[in-house]
Amino acid sequence: MHELSIIQSLIPQIEEFLTKGNYRKANKICLEVGAMSGVIPDALEFAYTICAQGTLVESAELCIRMVPVTASCETCFIKFEVHDYCFSCPQCKSTDLKMLTGNELKVKEIEVEEQ
C-alpha cells in the first residue's frame, strides 16, 4: 500500500508549510489524483486518518479530486478523454498520442487558519 508512504511524506511537508507561513493549522487539504496514477483514493483517505493524528493537519478535511485521463492525437491534433483504457484517437484511430492528464498526484490547495 504505497498510499501510506505518500501520506507519510506529505504530512511533514504540509506541516513545514504551515510553520513557515506562521499558520495555526490546516482546515482543508485538496489533492488532485490522476486516474492512472495507481493511487486508490479510499486507501489514501484511510492512511491520512491514521497518519494525521497528533499533527498540525489532524483536524483538516482531506479532499480528493480525481483527474481523468486525457490525450492529444499527434496525427489529427484533437484532444479527448480516454475511456476504458482505449488509447486510440476516436476520430482517426491513430495510437500516436500524447498523454495530457491522468498521472498526476499533487496538492492543489491548502485551506489554512491564521494565528
- The sign of the dihedral angle between the CA atoms of 13, 19, 20, 22 is positive
Report residue 64 as a C-alpha cell. Answer: 480528493
This prediction's pTM: 0.86
Residue 3 to residues 26, 54, 97, 110, Cα–Cα distance (Å): 20, 19, 29, 19
Fold of 2-113: hypothetical protein PF0899 fold (3.30.2320)
Per residue in 2-43, pLDDT tens? 999 999 999 999 999 999 999 999 999 999 999 999 999 999
Q: Which residue, among 104, 106, 4, 6, has the nearest Cα to 46 in the 3D structure?
A: 4
Domain extents in the chain: 2-113
% the chain with pLDDT above 70: 99
